[in-house]
Amino acid sequence: MTNSQSQALNDYTAAQERFAKLGVNTEDAIQRLTAISISLHCWQGDDVGGFERAADTLGGGLAVTGNYRGKARNADELRADLECALKLIPGKHRVNLHAIYAETDGKRVARTDLEPKHFARWIDWAKAHGLGLDFNPTYFSHPLADSGFTLSHRDAKVRQFWIDHGIACRHIGAAMGRELGSTCVTNVWIPDGFKDLPVDRRTPRELLRDSLDKLFAEKIDRAHNLDAVESKLFGIGSESYVVGSHEFYLGYALKKDVLLCLDMGHFHPTESVADKISSTLTWLPELLLHVSRGVRWDSDHVVILSDEVRALMQEIVRGGYLQRTRIALDYFDASINRVAAWVIGTRATLKALLLALLEPLELLREYEGNGDYMARLALFEHLNTLPFGAVWNHYCATNNVPDGIEAIEILKRFEEDVLSQRDFSSK
């Protein structure tokens, strides 16, 4: 054992004792954390570009700022980048794909004609690395989405195209789930909305309801694929009205028994997504989360260990909802090393989970039950200075994952050796 390893172990043992005094078993917390998988969004690796190359611009009101060197140019590079990231993240995780990441061997395949075979390489790769896969139909970056409307488009032919795309994607999700032996969540997010004040808010929502009913009509084994619907407050170009609002999808999820997806960047800035966990899970069986960080008008900054993420994970753990919540990431930053963005965001999400798992819940509940709100508040404050970092470092070490400082060095080396070698001159 090196000096620094034995120092880390001493730190951990000391931390273990501090937590034990409050009735918290750090080993139990670590064991529970090990069982949690985070779904890493493949689109952080190439600025939501995909490999379809049908549209030059992103569309759908999504915007990625920055042009840092070395973005993945194809699926092999994207997978190599994900492999690098996953080595720096403790635990077993999942990868979240979008339909535009299909591999079609240079052939143009309409989105309605996509099949599991176009994701065979992703599935083989996931199998080889012990990863689960999740999936998303892509309702943007396409000529038939240029009007800003897809599933709620007033033209039935356009709606049908997008319904058929959704159906194709559910089959792909089911194949992923079946082949990997791990349920795939296929999440529907559409950009539909108006920049300026509409006169008719009703018709697009009723059209969307009908389109979704058709999209979800076929029963698919829930062990293979689970469907989710994701709401949004506003987007760039849909500031005044979004068809798929929170209330719309909350109602839809309840009535039609699909998962509700809550994206942390899709609500009013002072609204607490954490508070929605127990409200929605009182009624819904399961939730999908898009962990993200809103900064002013942007909903997709790299996740950090913020108060919002901490509160969210506290709610999941305190409420006993870990089994009923699927945790995915959703952000895109092209202004820094993109592989590092995955690593920073995933590690921050895991840290928030570990912090939540280290709470002395029995004691806190006892105080609250006795009406001792002073002690509850004082204990919350005390917890902020406990040696959490020693437990996190121990968790990383036991998973053969470097600590935060070593990870920076490894990411820099990968950037020098791999990312900076990518040539974009032909583009």
Q: Active site includes 107?
A: no
- CB 213: neighbour CB atoms within 10 A? 12
Which residue among 330, 333, 359, 415 is the active-site one? 330
Token pair 């064991």 is found at: 31
Minimum distance, C-beta of residue 100 to Zn ion, in the bound complex (Å):
15
Which residue among 192, 300, 359, 415 is the active-site one? 300
Cβ closer to Zn ion: 215 or 289?
Answer: 289
Cβ closer to ligand RNT: 263 or 415?
Answer: 263
Least Cα distance to 326 among 258, 388, 272 occurs for 258
Cβ closer to Zn ion: 231 or 337?
Answer: 231
Per partner kind, with CB cut-offs from 5 to 8 A, the member of ligand RNT, Zn ion, none near residue 136 is: ligand RNT
Cβ closer to Zn ion: 227 or 330?
Answer: 330
Q: Distance (Å, rounded) from C-alpha 281 to C-alpha 268?
A: 20
Minimum distance, C-beta of residue 59 to ligand RNT, in the bound complex (Å):
11
Q: Active site includes 124?
A: no
When binding is defined by CB under 6 A, the residue of 165, 178, 232, 301 that contacts ligand RNT is: 232
- CB 287: neighbour CB atoms within 10 A? 21
Q: Active site includes 47?
A: no
Q: Distance (Å, rounded) from C-alpha 122 to C-alpha 129?
A: 11
When binding is defined by CB under 6 A, the residue of 81, 230, 333, 415 that contacts ligand RNT is: 230
Q: Active site includes 266?
A: yes
Binding track over 21-60 against ligand RNT, x by CB under 6 A = ----------------------x----x------------
Cβ closer to ligand RNT: 26 or 187?
Answer: 187
Binding track over 116-145 against ligand RNT, x by CB under 6 A = --------------------x---------
Minimum distance, C-beta of residue 405 to ligand RNT, in the bound complex (Å):
31
- Rule CB under 6 A: is residue 189 a binding residue for ligand RNT? yes
β-pair type (94-98, 38-41):
parallel
Q: Active site includes 113?
A: no
Per partner kind, with CB cut-offs from 5 to 8 A, the member of Zn ion, ligand RNT, none near residue 43 is: ligand RNT
Q: Which of residues 312-351 bind ligand RNT (CB under 6 A)?
A: 330
Minimum distance, C-beta of residue 365 to Zn ion, in the bound complex (Å):
33
Minimum distance, C-beta of residue 263 to Zn ion, in the bound complex (Å):
4
Q: Active site includes 93?
A: no
Cβ closer to Zn ion: 179 or 263?
Answer: 263
Tell me which amino acid residue 101 is.
Y
When binding is defined by CB under 5 A, the residue of 81, 179, 286, 330 that contacts Zn ion is: 330
Least Cα distance to 285 among 246, 248, 314, 326 occurs for 326
Which residue among 47, 134, 179, 263 is the active-site one? 263
When binding is defined by CB under 5 A, the residue of 170, 246, 290, 293 that contacts Zn ion is: 290
Alpha-carbon distances of 17 from 14, 21, 27, 163, 196, rounded to whole Å: 5, 6, 11, 56, 58
Which residue among 125, 189, 342, 392 is the active-site one? 189
Q: Which of residues 74-113 bind ligand RNT (CB under 6 A)?
A: none
Question: Exposed, middle or buried: residue 413 (CB in 10 Å: 0-12, 13-18, 19+)?
Answer: exposed
Tell me which amino acid residue 140 is.
F
- Rule CB under 5 A: is residue 263 a binding residue for Zn ion? yes
Query: How many residues form the binding site for ligand RNT (CB under 6 A)?
Result: 10
Per partner kind, with CB cut-offs from 5 to 8 A, the member of Zn ion, ligand RNT, none near residue 48 is: ligand RNT
Least Cα distance to 36 among 350, 271, 382 occurs for 350
Q: Active site includes 415?
A: no
Q: Active site includes 157?
A: no
- CB 83: neighbour CB atoms within 10 A? 13
Task: Report yes or no: 129 and 162 within 8 Å, Cβ to Cβ.
Answer: no
Binding site for ligand RNT (CB under 6 A): 43, 48, 62, 136, 189, 230, 232, 263, 290, 330
Site residues (vs Zn ion, CB under 5 A): 263, 290, 330
Q: Which residues are catalytic?
A: 189, 230, 232, 263, 266, 290, 298, 300, 330
